[in-house]
Amino acid sequence: METRLLGAAALLCLVDVLQAFAIEDKGDVFRRMACPSFLMFDNAAYLADMTFELPCNCKPEEVSSVVWYFQKDLGSHKTTVLTDFAGTVVVDSGHIHTGSSVLKRFSIRMFSLIVFRAQVTDSGHYLCGTKQGDFFYGYDVDVQPTKDIAVAFVDRGQHVQDDYTKQLFSLFTTFWDWTRCDRCGVRGEQRRIGLCYVQSAQLHPRYRTAVPNVTSCGSRAVPARFQHPARLRRPEVAVRSCLSPCLKEKVPEEGVQAISNVIAKLGEKPWLPRVPTQFHKQPVGSGLIIACPGARPEHAVAWDKGSVRLYRSRYLVSVNKSMRVFIDHGNHLHIQRLRVRDGGTYFCWREGEMVAGFRLSVTRQPRRRRALQDPETMYAVRIIGMSYAVISVIFIVIHVCRCCWQAFRGPART
């Protein structure tokens, strides 16, 4: 018991030392980097549904906590405060939904702002400062939409969009590196995300870019007269086939291997992958969206139904106008208007490794007789009753008006 207590005390001391080192190292960064005398904005571009982090790269040493502000347009009177004024806001990313407001999708950790599942409406200016209104650092964030994104399948000979060049500016696509192969041991696919950028010598000088005279198409540094053609250019995704070998698993000892082989043969299906499996039961006609655990939009993610590969070249959203089963650009699997034959086991690959299974059971809902206490029945009765009352009132008013009209006209002359 005494040995355990000493070990626990030593572990706590080690954690304190590491935390103090992290804070001291962060403080060294702030001491090395002085804040600019004139507030500038660093350009940063992302695709919708991505998660991004904005570090507060400079602040005075006496400031112990920061406040993050959001402005859609620079100098606007409408400013959103993204903090609890203590700089300690932390959220659980597992509870984040696409439609949530930015106030529910941000977190502040070690002076940095983290925005989960960014939306196009999150584009704008992010400022790091104090609750008194002193600003130290700023970002110009451009979140580009995935709707109507341009897709090119390299294996089919398709090409990405050509550059758009005018006298004062040009539009082009900057591609990220190819992702890893999304499957191993079998034919897989790779994606390459491309974002829209503009090059011009007339960009606003207050916005700082990594390459001179080049910024993302949705940046506030782009002059107003260039913004309309920039909005017409879409982000891009290129897809190609790949083949990657699987990493060799560590081989257990000979005796352990023999025992595990015997256990594996007892009542198990050898063709089913050994991954954690969740069970879902859905009624016929409903919709279902499945997310791969731990995956983000920029990850290499693939989906299989049993032994059938759901390749993006066939199942990517918008490949076919009448798609009922498709994969969106956030790597989610959609099944609309569920049918009984959709039941089965769906497997998810992440970064070239199969990580999870989803066993789906589609059930038919038995028809039951409506009762008067059912909410739908009560709603229908209420609507019918109100309609009958309105019609009755109109009927009575019409007859009263006719009687009054005849009374005012007097008796008819013969």
Rounded Cα gap, residues 115 and 51, in angstroms: 6
Report the run of H or E that residue 289 belongs to, with start and end: strand 288-290
Rounded Cα gap, residues 222 and 349, in angstroms: 39
How many residues are present in the chain? Answer: 414
Query: What sign for the dihedral angle of Cα 297, 303, 309, 315?
Result: negative
Residue with tokens 């591609």: 175
pTM over 0.85: no
* Rg value, the chain, Cα: 31
User: What DSSP designation does 410 have?
Assistant: -
Cα 237 → chain centroid: 16
Greater pLDDT, 56 or 3? 56
Per-residue pLDDT of 193-220, as tens digits, reads 999 999 999 999 889 888 899 999 989 9
Report the run of H or E that residue 332 belongs to, with start and end: none
Helix residue ranges, H only, 305-352: 312-315
Rounded Cα gap, residues 376 and 370, in angstroms: 9
* Percent over 70 (pLDDT), the chain: 76
Per-residue pLDDT of 10-22, as tens digits, reads 433 443 433 443 4
Residue 36: what pLDDT?
66
Residue 89: what pLDDT?
45
Rounded Cα gap, residues 66 and 56, in angstroms: 8
Per-residue pLDDT of 243-276, as tens digits, reads 999 887 644 444 444 444 444 444 445 556 788 8
* 349 in Cβ contact with 304 (< 8 Å): yes
Candidates 162, 224, 166; CA nearest to 196 is 162
Largest Cα separation within the chain, whole Å, is 122
Asked whether the predicted pLDDT for residue 333 surpasses 90, the reply is yes
Single-letter code of the amino acid located at 388: Y
Interior/surface letters 114-142, b for 16+ CB within 10 angstroms, e for the rest? bbbbbbeebbbbbbbbbeeeeebbbbbbb
Give the three-state DSSP class for 294. coil
What's the CATH number for 272-363? 2.60.40.10
Residue 179 banded pLDDT, cuts 50, 70, 90: very high
Candidates 241, 226, 155, 162; CA nearest to 194 is 162
Q: Residue range 342-369: average pLDDT?
A: 87
Residue 23: what pLDDT?
41
CATH class in words for 23-144: mainly beta
